[in-house]
Chain A
């Protein structure tokens, strides 16, 4: 897992979390001291690390989480439009994951249960402020909404897995996780 030879220019990387828990981002931070090597190879665009709000032209986009509402669709499409390589990072982006548990229930039941019928709630109503993105009827893995180039499974993928994946990608090798690094839980 030697660091890759630095490419001619730094690659631009964006990351975001859609219907996720930021656990994959936390795992990303678990590459620890490799972060120093990484910033030699890449620069970050939109990402919780930079606080840039809108994604610009990038080489690599990492998407954590599935697609649960209209805003997720917009952000995901923006990433797809701007990133040459788009990666589904972690179980929720790959399969919908935990948020997709609600797919077994009608959306109306979920919303009514939370906003109208919860014990202790008075005059509850389902929020309808236009500022709020509407939820989709089902939570979707991101590859059902845009084309995805790579899938990195795991809940979350481990720091070493993310590091191996990125160094492969940066070095121009097709990312390949050997047995120990590849897991789905």
Chain B
């Protein structure tokens, strides 16, 4: 696969043709072009640029942005180990090491025969059944040494993925607690029929009465968002379902997409009815690409049933259809404006707001971007009415919330609770004991210590997009924070300097402490970097990046302090070793040819 094709193939032209040579389809074209060769050789990029009549630099810029697009050769078997903290806690490093040794390769490098490459990737959303990996985009969970041995053998034998044991690719839903949403058994189209009955205005009023707020974490009122898009000028209007579930530790959307896809697509159609939208996109994160065939099948079935397409349920002028747009490994695309950029076939760089997407979104048109769970919830409102929905939960947080629970507990998986549930209750239900801390809301969220376990999941107390990672007494919270800092440094889009440089500097300090070179002065510098990231970053990624450090420094400070070797200052490198080369070159070993790492020792 490392051999350059002499000329771009007819297959590539087929891909371009299928996407109508639209530059907005660039990301989708690149993903499919990569499927042909396994990677994106330079002639392919050039050919795409020429065919789309866009600069070569733009194609290269997009290809270089997404983690799952490769402009260098990768193995015919492309193994990516999920590297969330929960994967680390389950021993992913040891497993990756074992696989590398068995296949005689180094992480991040391509084997000489081009057979296999092994690397890590950000959280793949398999935290409840980790450690996880992706092999050529297919997810495998519950890795063990036995599985690793078998995988090594199958790769050596070059067995096609289709012939690998099917149970490898079985990703369980692990639903542990159901409430109103997960208990809903809706006949496709039932919610739609109900809202068509209500009329567009009446439906919007129901949503308003329900007090539904966005489940992606920010908690913006859904009815306000829909009404704004509805009142905005510009056609056609767009509904986007944000299924770019990249927040480490979150996997509730994976389960909804897998087993409740009809609720999601119906929710999108309900939104379209309220807003007057005619086009819909589901932005599916690249890590969930294995769900694509079944999602396409659901869409096809809905089209056949008259639930998508023209004159939905025979309602004149109710036209709406949905396309699935694939991501390619970029956490920042979960941010709605970055997601829209990505939908337009560009790098996922967040936009400056305002204008907000509801007035100027996809291609400048009014665009509603809602979370998967938010859209699914609208079916409940359509069927049961807004007031009934508003009656559950708390004053400011109506309804239920899906939590993705992972880490140190007996029963990881999906738990649906009415808003207002205390942390302690959740810990009890999932069988967590000796819990030291809970990271709620993912890497960007909040780290709660034991004295906060009476706090409640709700927008007015502990808001969350759904991640709930549990750390028991055996875990070191410094390692947790460091893992998240590495995550942000890797996922920074590179657009603004405070985030690009700041996350990387923060990573440097955390590594310095981890390597045993920490000093008190570093903690002051870390504080300063935290403030800089929080205040100067362009988007939420940069301003959330220091959160894990801020929280753990406040609540688990000894985890940092015990790593300090000096109360003043400590270089990050060994000064005496820095003279070793010169010593060797000059054959000197006198006292002047040495430096003590600690100044005091010199006297």
What residues make up the interface of A, taking CB atoms closer than 8 Å to B? 70, 73, 77, 80-81, 106-108, 111-112, 126-128, 130, 133-138, 144-147
Contacts and interface: CB of A to CB of B under 8 A. Distances in A.
A134 to B, nearest CB: 4
B473 interface: no
Contacts of A130: 588, 590, 592-593
B582 interface: yes
Given A70-B592, A130-B592, A138-B578, A108 B571 contact: no
A128 B519 CA distance: 35
Contact of B579 (A81, A127, A134): A134
A16 B254 CA distance: 61
A146 B570 CA distance: 7
B569 A136 contact: no
B143 to A, nearest CB: 39
Given A130-B590, A130-B592, A147-B569, A73 B575 contact: yes
Given A70-B592, A73-B595, A144-B571, A108 B578 contact: no
Given A77-B599, A144-B571, A144-B572, A133 B585 contact: no
Closest 6 CB pairs of A and B: A128-B586, A147-B569, A134-B582, A136-B578, A147-B521, A130-B590
A126 B580 contact: no
Nearest to A81: B599
B586 A127 contact: yes
A128 B588 contact: yes
A107 B590 contact: no
Chain B, interface size category, equals 20 to 34
A135 B575 contact: no
Interface centre among A107, A112, A134 (most CB of B within 10 A): A134
Nearest to B522: A147
Contacts of B528: none
B215 to A, nearest CB: 44
B581 interface: yes
A147 B568 contact: yes
A146 B587 CA distance: 28
Contacts of A134: 579, 582-583, 586, 588, 592-593
Nearest to A71: B592
B573 interface: yes
A111 B579 contact: no
A137 B572 contact: no
12 contacts: A77-B599, A108-B581, A126-B586, A128-B587, A128-B588, A134-B583, A136-B575, A137-B579, A137-B580, A144-B571, A144-B573, A147-B519
Nearest to B573: A144
A147 B571 CA distance: 9
Given A77-B599, A107-B582, A134-B582, A145 B588 contact: no
Contacts of B577: 137
Contacts of A108: 581, 585
B350 to A, nearest CB: 27
